[in-house]
Structure 1
Amino acid sequence: MRSVGLAEAKAQLSALLDAVEMGEEVVITRRGQPVARLVRELPALAKDGALSWPERLRRFHGNQAPLAGNAVALVGELRRDRG
């Protein structure tokens, strides 16, 4: 995540939007304090107004840190906890 001051954001808005479009997040600061965050716009809803399952999962998990380990180990751990 990149952090830029207000003056730089004004001067380089087009370049910042290009970076955001590529998936980068940009925090805009004023006097060193964060005041805004530029993030990529989520895709529009499907024609029928519902999101696809993959898109719903991406949105749900978008801000979560990746899991350590693999899916097989995670399922085994969940099964042990349940039993």
Structure 2
Amino acid sequence: MKQIGAYEAKVHLSELLDQVAQGETILITKKGKPVAKMVPVESDEWTWEKIVHRLYQLRKNVKPGTPSIREMIEEGRRF
């Protein structure tokens, strides 16, 4: 990760944006302390791969012993 001071970032903003667009991450500092990070934007497109990956992540958070949605519906609970 590249570090650059706030003044230099202001002066060379368009060049930094080109670098970020190519995948570089840039940390902007002010008086030696990090204040901002420029990172490439992720695509907002939902692909099947992203959806499946997100479902697997959510599934990891399900604790053993918690009732399934079907069991909650049969009990008359709302989730």
The TM-score normalised by the length of structure 2 is 0.60
Offset of 1:40 from its aligned partner?
0.5
Moved over 6 A (4+): none
For structure 1, the residue ranges without an aligned partner over 5 or more in a row are 46-50, 58-83
**Is 1:52 matched up with 2:47?**
yes
Change (3 A) 1:55 1:12: farther
Structure 1: how far apart are the matches of 2:27 and 2:12? 13
Count of aligned residue pairs for this structure pair? 52
Return the index of the structure with the highest Cα Rg. 2
CA RMSD of aligned residues (A): 1.4
Query: Percent identity among equivalent residues?
Result: 40
The TM-score normalised by the length of structure 1 is 0.57
Once the two structures are superposed, residues 15-72 of structure 1 have per-residue CA deviations (whole angstroms, 9 ceiling, x without a partner) of: 0000000000000000000000000111122xxxxx2144465xxxxxxxxxxxxxxx
**Is 1:19 matched up with 2:19?**
yes
For structure 2, the residue ranges without an aligned partner over 5 or more in a row are 54-79
Structure 2: how far apart are the matches of 1:55 and 1:17? 26
Structure 2: how far apart are the matches of 1:53 and 1:28? 35
1:40 matched to which residue of 2? 40
